[in-house]
Amino acid sequence: MVVDLAFAPFAVLAFIAAALGTVLGVAVILTSKFAGSGKLARLMTKVLIVGLSAYVLLMLAASLTSHEHLLARGEEKHFCEIDCHIAYSVVDVQKTSALSGAAAPLKAGNFYVITLRTRFDETTIGPHRGNGTLQPNEHQLSIVDARGNLFSPIPEANGTDAADPQYGTPLDRPLRPGEHYETKIIFDLPASVEAPRLLVWQPAWPNTFLIGHENSPLHKKAYFAL
């Protein structure tokens, strides 16, 4: 299983512990200095440096041992929602120079119409969660080419609203365990684009600072082949 955050409970707890420890350590240092206890302030400074250094080293170690993935049609990329997983997969890709019902292309290039499936993996829920709905966290989509250039989807393709029913279900619609839906995402790419790959990813904060998260520094990504 390709997942954006392996060992999610550990990573989240480690981040919370590091954040709370930093706040507490800074408070102790400031209080000690105000009270004239320089020895305690120096000791706590050393503890903070050691603790944060260990956290950064663990994060970098997880990133440097990660692997890049290129997922084929139908293969899933899972996003951890702590007690369950939302899985995405590309089920269809159409390349066209014009969109049905739309005016001229926004720029010279090629339209990529990508059908993305969103699925609530019922095998990843906790035993007591129940059948309640889950609204997927915010996810962003980009196409990355061979040179590392990023391209964003077209929110409105010349008057053809990408949220229109003909383009499927909005990506933020709530799901129950086992349910899925499909959404068509439109990109307008230059004709010269090479090796385009789809990247589905989460916003930077606070994921960049989680040990083992795909967004953390130097961590390899999981892309969808187009």
Q: What is the 3-state secondary structure (H, E, C) of 107-144?
A: CCCEEEEEEEEEEEEHHHCCCCCCCCCECCCCCEEEEE
Query: How high is the pLDDT of residue 135?
Result: 81
CB 106 within 8 A of CB 157: yes
Element (H, E) at 161: strand 160-161
CATH number of 137's domain: 2.60.40.1240
Q: Greater confidence, 116 or 105?
A: 116
Query: How high is the pLDDT of residue 165?
Result: 39
Q: How far is CA 112 from CA 25, 99, 193, in A?
A: 51, 10, 11
Using the 8-state DSSP alphabet, how is residue 219 labeled?
-
Cα separation, 190 vs 105, in Å, equals: 11
Cβ-proximal residues to 29 (8 Å cutoff; 6+ apart), any chain: 41, 44, 45, 48
Cα separation, 61 vs 36, in Å, equals: 39
Query: How high is the pLDDT of residue 166?
Result: 44
Q: How far is CA 86 from CA 31, 156, 189, in A?
A: 45, 26, 28
Q: Greater confidence, 97 or 57?
A: 57
Q: What is the number of domains present in the chain?
A: 1
* Torsion angle, alpha carbons of 60, 218, 70, 112, to 10: 150
Handedness of CA 10, 11, 17, 20 (dihedral sign): negative
Name the pTM for this structure: 0.82
Query: For 61-107, what is each residue's pLDDT tens digit?
Result: 999 999 999 999 999 999 987 667 889 999 999 888 776 654 444 55
Across the range 168-175, mean pLDDT stands at 83
Q: What is the 3-state secondary structure (H, E, C) of 60-75?
A: HHHHHCCCCEEECCCC
Mean pLDDT estimate for the chain: 85
Bridge partner list, 141: 200
Decide if pLDDT at 158 tops 50: no
Element (H, E) at 160: strand 160-161
Q: Quote the distance between the C-alpha of residue 214 and its chain's center.
A: 7
CA-nearest of 70, 86, 126, 125 to 3 is 86
Find the domain containing 58 and state its range: 1-226
